[in-house]
């Protein structure tokens, strides 16, 4: 063990090493490290972690292989490097080789699987953990579920951590994931309970939590509460603005959506694809065709954002409802990706509204192909035929439905022949 003076010198060298690595000066850090006559595990770990975080994984592994002694932090640093590069398999291989794993090791791997979308592997690893009294482990697992569309599983995990035999006190990050899951499910009741529960356990609303609650309340139609939360944000970003614009657009608050977009632009915050879902929805609900066209065109031209399926669906729906069925059809045919059932369904609904048999048949055939078990598309086409008094086609469609085992939806009806 180094003498006190030498130990003090080593601590100061390690501090300088960390500062150089954090500033991104890897060359100077390597020069200092190579010149150090005495190094400890902190020196080596700092270098391995610093190079791994900088994306220089080969150099990090070379240092790791040379280490005279390692601890869990050494292995975790290389695991993080592999995960950052998207090589979760290599990270798992390293994880399984570890002689001793810390909770950070488990959480790192769970987060890695969450990032890659492998919820099953993350869940399997979480179940293997012996120490489940770790808040960060629960947060990693709940976030994994919430971020990968497994909202019910996220809420189930949250309920599990609150059970008396487990009981881990949740924090802001826990509630952020839980509220996000509630938002995905449209479960306002549980979301409101969680919002009240936060106060009882002393959790304060940070900006992440406020943004999650904004999303929940807008999707639940509680737009005034969402605005209160939004105005209380310390720092508004593209996520919070987009949540408010989407909520305003979908709840018929056209002026609010447009004003928020202007406010966002004035603040030099660049919009994203979600922002335009809200803005296009606002124009669509207000029936403002030209404004919607200009907005849609500006996405690639001004903001370098490629319209997604959702943007095309909104435009096809607006064009169709406005009676511009041919234009809606041409828009769909020019899509750079294969249109899904939501796009064709929007056109089919418009054909039902305007009794267009020819385009209705085209749209319906695409819907049947993409979602063969959905009876609603058959009912829409049947109503188009009934309105046009094409009774033979109605009869044939009924026969196809019966042969396919498709029942009419509850509450649906076709106009009957006299």
What does the pLDDT look like over 185-215, one tens digit per residue? Answer: 989 899 999 999 998 999 988 999 999 999 9
pTM: predicted TM-score of the whole model, two decimal places: 0.77
For residue 110, pLDDT over 80 is answered with yes
Instruction: Output the average pLDDT for the chain.
Output: 92
Question: Does the structure show a pLDDT above 50 at 411?
Answer: no
How many of the other CB atoms lie within 10 Å of CB of 371?
16
Residue 276 has pLDDT above 90, yes or no: yes
CB 316 within 8 A of CB 331: yes
pLDDT of 406 above 60: yes
- The stretch 123-146 carries a mean pLDDT of 94
Picking from 187, 126, 133, the residue whose alpha carbon sits closest to that of residue 155 is 187
From the number of C-beta atoms within 10 Å of its C-beta (0-12, 13-18, 19+), residue 388 rates as middle
The values of phi and psi at residue 232, to 5°, are: -85, 0
pLDDT at 331 over 90: yes
pLDDT band at 4 (very low <50, low <70, confident <90, very high): low
pLDDT of residue 417: 42
Mean pLDDT of 129-140: 93
How many CB atoms are located within 10 Å of the residue 29 CB? 23
Cα separation of 40 and 405, whole Å?
Answer: 72
pLDDT, average across residues 63-73: 90
Q: For residues 34-60, give the mean pLDDT.
A: 89
Residue 210 near residue 244, CB atoms below 8 Å:
no
Model pLDDT, residue 345: 97
CA dist list (Å): 82 to 61, 85, 146? 10, 5, 23
Name the token pair of 409: 């939806």
- Report the alpha-carbon distance of residue 77 to residue 72 in Å, rounded: 9
Q: What is the pLDDT of residue 198?
A: 92
- Residue the block writes with tokens 């950070």: 104
Within 8 A by CB and 6+ apart from 322, the residues are 287, 289
Please state the rounded mean pLDDT for residues 224-228: 94
Nearest to 112, CA basis, from 132, 93, 130: 93
Average pLDDT (119-140) is: 94
The residue-averaged pLDDT of 356-363 equals: 97
- Percent of the chain clearing pLDDT 70 (strictly above): 95
Q: What is the dihedral of CA 298, 303, 309, 310, to 10 degrees?
A: -80
Mean pLDDT of 401-411: 70
pLDDT score recorded for residue 418 = 35
Burial class (CB in 10 A: 0-12, 13-18, 19+), 115: middle
Cα gap 89→94, rounded to integer Å:
9
CB-CB contact of 375 with 408 (8 Å): yes
């Amino acid at each position: 063990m180094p003498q006190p003076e030498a130990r003090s010198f080593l601590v100061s060298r390690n501090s300088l090493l960390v500062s150089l690595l954090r500033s991104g000066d890897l060359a100077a850090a390597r020069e200092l490290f190579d010149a150090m006559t005495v190094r400890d595990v902190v020196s080596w770990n700092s270098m391995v972690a610093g190079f791994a975080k900088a994306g220089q994984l080969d150099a990090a592994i070379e240092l790791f292989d040379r280490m005279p002694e390692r601890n869990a932090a050494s292995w975790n640093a290389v695991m993080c490097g592999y995960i950052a590069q998207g090589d979760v398999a290599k990270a798992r291989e390293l994880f399984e080789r570890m002689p001793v794993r810390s909770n950070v090791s488990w959480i790192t791997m769970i987060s890695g699987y969450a990032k890659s979308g492998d919820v099953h592997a993350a869940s399997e690893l979480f179940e293997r953990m012996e120490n489940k009294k770790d808040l960060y482990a629960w947060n990693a697992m709940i976030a994994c579920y919430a971020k990968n569309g497994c909202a019910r599983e996220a809420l189930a995990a949250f309920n599990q951590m609150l059970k008396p035999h487990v009981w881990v006190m949740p924090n802001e990050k826990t509630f952020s994931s839980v509220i996000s899951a509630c938002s995905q499910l449209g479960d306002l009741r549980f979301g409101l309970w969680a919002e009240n529960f936060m106060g009882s356990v002393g959790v304060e609303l940070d900006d992440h939590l406020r943004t999650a609650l904004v999303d929940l309340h807008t999707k639940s139609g509680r737009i005034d509460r969402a605005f209160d939360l939004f105005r209380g944000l310390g720092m508004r970003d593209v996520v919070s603005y987009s949540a408010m614009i989407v909520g305003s657009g979908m709840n018929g608050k056209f002026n609010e959506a447009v004003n928020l977009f202007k406010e966002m632009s004035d603040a030099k915050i660049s919009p994203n694809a979600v922002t335009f879902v809200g803005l296009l929805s606002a124009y669509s609900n207000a029936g403002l065709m030209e404004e919607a066209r200009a907005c849609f065109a500006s996405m690639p031209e001004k903001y370098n954002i490629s319209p997604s399926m959702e943007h095309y669906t909104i435009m096809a729906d607006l064009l169709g409802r406005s009676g511009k069925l041919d234009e809606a059809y041409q828009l769909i045919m020019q899509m750079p990706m294969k249109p899904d059932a939501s796009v064709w369904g929007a056109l089919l609904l418009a054909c039902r509204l305007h009794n267009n048999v020819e385009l209705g048949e085209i749209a319906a055939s695409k819907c049947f192909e993409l979602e063969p078990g959905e009876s609603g598309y058959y009912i829409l086409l049947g109503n188009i035929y009934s309105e046009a008094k094409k009774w033979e086609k109605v009869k044939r469609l009924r026969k196809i439905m019966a042969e396919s085992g498709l029942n009419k939806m509850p509450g649906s009806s076709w106009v009957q022949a006299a």
